[in-house]
Structure 1
Amino acid sequence: MFTFLRRAIPCPRHIINAISPSPTFQLQLCLQTQWSSVRYAFSNASNGNSFTVSYLIDSCGFSPQEAEAASKRVSLETRDKPDLVIGFLKSHGFSQPQILRLIRIVPELLRYDPEKTFLPKIEFFKSRGISSSHIPRLICSSPNIMRRSLSKHLIPSFNFLRDLFQSDEKLIKSLQYSSVILLDPKTFVVPKMELLREAGVPQSNIIKYLQFFSRTLTCSPGRLKKAVEEVKELGFDPLKFQFLVAVHVCISLKKSTRDKKADVYKKWGCSDNDIVAAFRKFPVCMTLAEDQIDAKFEFLVNQLGCNPSNIIKYASVLGYSLKKRIVPRAAVLQVLLSKGLMKSETFLVNFMHTEKDFLRRFVLCHGQQVANELLELYRTKLDQAR
């Protein structure tokens, strides 16, 4: 046994030869020597990043695991530079969660000179019409912006996209959703736009898609092509913007995720054809959380007596808030039904009216006493949702 351990854990020969200990003592001495070497090496490695790890945990709110991972990308000797960076970001409206997100994704930012690197970019965004309150969100949606050259990269990218949108206002609105397109629009965006044009999508809809769903255009061309083909097979018309909404959903969600959501619809009696029909009418129905789908069907079917096939017919109703829209309006409509003042056949479509139109059609149009009763009921339900 000890012979095996001596082979497995080599011991310095001069130590063993200097004394003539028992085999047990030899083993203990070898283990002690090996452990000392390991501990020395570990100590040297730890001292190199111990301050970095401590700073990220204590000053930035990192978990020990996050701090250890980030310390492999940035090394801090003192707190002077990182304190300067964090102080600068706070003074320019960045919240603590936003600062944490920036440093998690690009920990190297803690070694930058914020006045030289960050300030010119912030001033540039302001000069192009982006408000100070929106700049932190714009930068946090794509933190690598702070690493790009302003003159060589960001300004040319901004100008290229502005010409593409033919409007500063549209571009700024797009950047508020996601600024990732500023990183490399000619590589990420242009080839995808060409692919959509080849699929028969009008340029105006492509620009609109870029405005609201620009992040999905940073996916691989193969993934976009696959989504386009899938949506075409489902019968969507490339000339309509709904086609691009469906493409966005297919890119954003894995097939396994969509299958799980489909299982919830099936639980309430929807067939595969029903689910496809709902997706055609309202592609966003597949982005709803599973518990949201379940809760809305439970209320509409069990509380209001709606038929699942009718819910599919008005699938966009599923996109509304259960507590803030469906329940308050249902309370009013149920009173009207009980009084014989409306027909149940039109029940679901009434959730789709605007707030002003709903009140005009179903509350304020009645006599003062009934109108006051309905308005009080409606506001009570809304207050309960807050």
Structure 2
Amino acid sequence: MLKLCGNGVKSTLPLYFRYCLPYSTSTTERASHCMEIYLVNSLGFSREEAASASTKVRHFKSTEAANSVINFFKRAGLDKAQIKNLITLVPKLLNCKVDKTLKPKIRIFQDLGLSNIEVVDLIAGNPTVLTRGLDTHIAPSIKLLKSILGTDETVVKVFKRSPWLLSCNLPKRMQPNVVLLQSYGLSSERIQNLVVQRPRFLAQDSKWIEGVLARVEEKLRIPRDASMFLSGVYLVSSLSEKSLESKYQVFKSFGWTESEVTTMVSKLPFSLKLSEATISSRLNFFMNELDYEPGYLASHPRILMYSLEKRVLPRNSVLQALKERKLIKTKTSLYVVVGLKESQFFTEFVLPYKDELPQIYESYINNKTGIC
């Protein structure tokens, strides 16, 4: 087996190592060359892949150590393709000490409640976790998440959804942001939901997050104690100030006041996630074709979120046809109709008129386009 130490190669080298190493090369070059050959022969790397991987490792310690690592991964449940992927992404894993470095990290995840299969998935999804310090990085991060989320089960849920989290120093990155949100009056439950649903947000720089929180209050006019505050946070964190302002201007171009846009956003911040073209086309339909007023749309913003082609136009055509034929005795608004589940709408507004008005039924069934 290959063993590098000091100034050269000590050996009981396999034959293919003994005859492939030019003695004129440096120790580092010989180690890199040996690693290339090892990767080709043990894990099926191409020469190009092996050469690329070997450049990421300063010293290749020994084939014995590398074999120990590969065998450990096999026993853990990783197949050859997964092991190859791990080593491709993090070649220095081959130099890790199994008992001292790898086993304790696997054990901490198992103690958390992850099954062997789930541990394999976690490692495959984020190989760099095995290069992080157990006591300096992994254990403190798990401890922090437990303190926020309360249960091991929820921590596991977060890791499954976002395995990259273990690559972050959470006490350094996340804890200050949790304190910041607490200072804004967010409850433990809302912070927990944020960690589960949007952990990447809490891994951002604290100054950036503070700017997002300020924009939600100042631009969107959503107070920090409002139920929609976090939705506003999600919106602002995903849009630039320029994009946000451009969308405001689209509404204003249709005659909306700043106050009406603010009313809409306070009720449904994600109405501003629509593209400018989509906002324009939907406002054109509701305001110019159906004569809806800005005040009504601002108070009922959900109607703007439904697809015109797939939902609003087909249902509006059915509703108008039924009203024209005086088949609807109660006053029914388009807002109520488009909000119904598909099965409910079909049962209440299409199916009962299958025989009386077959054209309504056929048109809706075939393509959900306008009624003749």
**Unaligned segments of structure 2, at least 5 residues:** 1-28
The equivalent of 1:282 in structure 2 is 268
Structure 1 partner of 2:226: 240
SS of structure 1 residue aligned to 2:201: helix
Counterparts in 2 of 1:37-48, with a 5 A limit? none
Alignment pair present for 1:207 and 2:192: yes
Q: Check if 1:218 corresponds to 2:203.
A: yes
Q: CA RMSD, aligned part only?
A: 5.4
Aligned to 2:174: 189
Counterparts of 1:113-152 in structure 2, within 5 Å, are 125=109, 128-130=112-114, 144-150=128-134
Q: Mark the CA change 1:127 to 1:249 in structure 2 (over 3 Å): closer, same or farther.
A: same
Q: Structure 2 counterpart of 1:352, which letter?
A: G
Kept in 2, the 8 Å contact 1:216–1:252? The answer is no
CA shift digits 1:354-382 (9 cap, x unpaired): 44554455445x35646997677556559
1:147 deviates by 2.1
Equivalent of residue 178 in structure 1, options 151, 162, 170: 162
Which one is further off, 294-303 or 235-244? 294-303
Listed as ranges, the matches of 1:1-386 within 5 Å are 73-74=56-57, 92=78, 107-108=90-91, 111=94, 125=109, 128-130=112-114, 144-150=128-134, 153-182=137-166, 183-233=168-218, 234-262=220-248, 272-288=258-274, 290=275, 293-295=276-278, 297-298=280-281, 301-302=284-285, 305-306=289-290, 307=292, 309=294, 310-320=296-306, 322=307, 327-328=310-311, 330-340=313-323, 341=327, 346-355=333-342, 357-359=344-346, 361-363=348-350, 366-367=352-353, 369=355, 380-381=366-367
What is the DSSP-based 3-state SS (H/G/I as helix, E as strand, rest coil) of the residue aligned with 1:332?
A: helix
Specify whether residues 248 and 329 from structure 1 end up closer, same or farther in structure 2 by C-alpha distance, changes over 3 A only.
closer
Distance of 2:195 and 2:178 partners within structure 1? 9
Unaligned segments of structure 1, at least 5 residues: 1-44
Residues 270 and 125 (structure 1), Cα distance of their counterparts in 2 relative to 1, 3 Å cut: farther
SS in 2 for 1:162: helix
Structure 2 counterpart of 1:189, one-letter code: M
Which residue does the alignment assign to 2:26? none
Q: Is the partner of 2:200 in helix, strand or coil?
A: helix
TM-score, normalising length from structure 1?
0.59
- 8 A Cα contact 1:93 1:136, kept in partner: no
Is the alpha carbon distance of 1:166 and 1:263 closer, same or farther for their aligned partners in structure 2, counting shifts above 3 Å?
Answer: same
Deviation at 1:216, TM superposition (A): 0.6
Distance 1:119 1:313, change over 3 A: farther
Q: Which amino acid counterpart does residue 158 of structure 1 have in structure 2?
A: I
Instruction: Tell me the amino acid that sits aligned with residue 170 of structure 2.
Output: P
Distance 1:246 1:299, change over 3 A: closer
The aligned amino acid for 2:186 is V
TM-score by length of 2: 0.61
CA distance in 1, matches of 2:124, 2:263: 37
1:243 Cα deviation from its structure 2 partner: 0.8
